[in-house]
Structure 1
């Protein structure tokens, strides 16, 4: 009788150990697949250039646009100008920095600061008080300033040197 009980125990232990082995195997396989997927996602292939179509119809790749280290060139003095409003005139002061890529563009921008200041002042003075009072209006002004600076520098440098126009200070009284 004791032998029969021990045989029954041994028979019951074998399926449990096989089940445990299968469960651990499946968990291990899932873990390996998750790690492999994460490595593939984060490391990925080096051919991650996405092409975009610009306004003039030409195709640019992301690698061509974002080459080099970002440099920030601050304008030497803030832009100070009056804007006529409905009730009264407002005084506006904007501090601007330009983002360029590479040290060559950094030197090139510093060379053409008077031209850039003229383009920015022309853009800023054409604004109205209501637009500059809202966040959306400031973003629109920033984009307009970027386009104006790029279009002004394009005939001189032969390419779009400035990548972003950043407002680092904005006061309206």
Structure 2
């Protein structure tokens, strides 16, 4: 009788080990497939939506890139802190947080941008705080805010450094509550 119980326990142990191996294999395969789809992408760029704002944004962003490519490689200057500010809205005021990076061309422009970060932060905060919450809810409003930011930062850097240091202002994080 003791031998029968021992045999039953051994068979049950083999079945549970086999189930664990099968479950582990399924999880690993599923994780591999998920990683492939998340990390593996096509080399083709995503199509831009066929809207006037998207077409205008695509046209304005590609023109400076062609002329700026001669200056040097693209470098990104991160703002040290995210911008947090209130914007008025029709229904209620909203709190907005924007994380920004600046696209510059060449190491000389990178150093100039880093040296003038306080001036750039002040300019961006002035532009951001003049926005309206109802506009920032839409994609077109965000694009308009980004374009206004680029325009103002270029203007300030032209006055300070004598050249357009910043090619693009990139929103790498945008949260509105």
Q: Which has the larger radius of gyration?
A: 1
Distance 1:62 1:171 in 2: 28
The answer for the alignment partner of 2:173 in structure 1 is: 169
The answer for the alignment partner of 1:92 in structure 2 is: 96
Normalization by structure 1: what TM-score? 0.63
Give the C-alpha shift of residue 64 in structure 1. Answer: 4.4
1:65 counterpart (48, 65, 68): 68
Distance 1:93 1:133 in 2: 13
2:151 is aligned with 1:147: yes
Alignment of 1:24-35 (within 5 A): none
Aligned in 2, Cα 1:110/1:61: closer, same or farther, shift over 3 Å? closer
Structure 1 regions of 5+ residues with no counterpart? 1-59
User: What RMSD, in angstroms, separates the aligned Cα atoms of the two structures?
Assistant: 1.7
Distance 1:156 1:79 in 2: 22
SS of residue in 1 equivalent to 2:147: helix
Alignment of 1:94-133 (within 5 A): 94-133=98-137
Structure 2 regions of 5+ residues with no counterpart? 1-62
Normalization by structure 2: what TM-score? 0.61
Name segments (4+ residues, structure 1) moved above 2 Å.
Answer: 60-65
Give the C-alpha shift of residue 105 in structure 1. Answer: 0.8
Give the C-alpha shift of residue 66 in structure 1. Answer: 1.6
Aligned in 2, Cα 1:131/1:159: closer, same or farther, shift over 3 Å? same
Bigger relative contact order, structure 1 or 2, given CA contacts below 8 A and separation 6+? Answer: 2
Q: Map Cα deviations across residues 43-65 of structure 1 (whole Å, 9 max, x no partner).
A: xxxxxxxxxxxxxxxxx997643
